[in-house]
Amino acid sequence: MSEFFTLLLREAESGWFWMYTAALPEEARSLRAEELHSDAWEHEADARQRGGRFGLEFAYRVILGMPADVAWRVQLGRRGFERRSGLELLVASLLAFGLLVALPISGLVLPRSDMVLGGAPHISAFLLAHTLIVILGLVLPGVLVIDRWPVAGGLLVLIGCLCLMAEFWWLREAMGVLLVGTAAAAVCTVRLESLRRR
């Protein structure tokens, strides 16, 4: 088994780990990563000692353990969710609402509406409702989670602002506010993400 294949395998395993532990609390994630890293090291040392084929053994151990990894993640997710605060529940609900309602409206309905296609600009009940939905379902959850998950929060605010821009392109003042909001979200995201990585 070539070194290159082993390296590729480890990278694939890291990718798999990154996927099934996504959005877990950082502590749980890093402890699991450390334990698995230690396991891989011990396995490689054992294989070297026995003259075994580390690459193949490691691959089958990772692949056969995938369903259990997912089951572990689901159990941990549920246990974690029971302890989540009301705020997190609110954010999750708002986000689901935003993704299910605001994005389809912004992407499918607005581009086809008369207003965007050159009709007379006016603030209709539909636009007001859409604004409310976008703010509640995308911008607000983004602001609420930006401290904990800067990239996800920043992206939500950005998407929310883009949805509102699609709606209010004709209103110069609104565009100004939205551009400032987008820039503030970008600055917050970069700043918080750099603090988190330290």
Among 71, 123, 179, 190, interactor with other proteins by CB under 8 A: 71
103: amino acid identity, one letter: L
Q: Contacting other proteins (CB under 8 A), which of 25, 77, 107, 176? A: 77
Residue 73 · residue 20 · CB < 8 Å: yes
- Closer residue to other proteins in complex, CB, 86/118: 86
Separation CA 129–CA 63 (nearest Å): 48
Give the shortest CB-149-to-other proteins separation in angstroms: 17
Stretch that binds other proteins, among 4-12, 30-38, 151-159, 176-184 (CB under 8 A): 30-38
**Counting contacts by CB under 8 A, is residue 165 touching other proteins?**
no
Where do contacts with other proteins occur on this chain (CB under 8 A)? 31-32, 34-39, 41-43, 45-46, 57, 60-72, 75, 77-79, 81-82, 89, 92-93, 96-97, 100-101, 104-105, 109, 129, 133
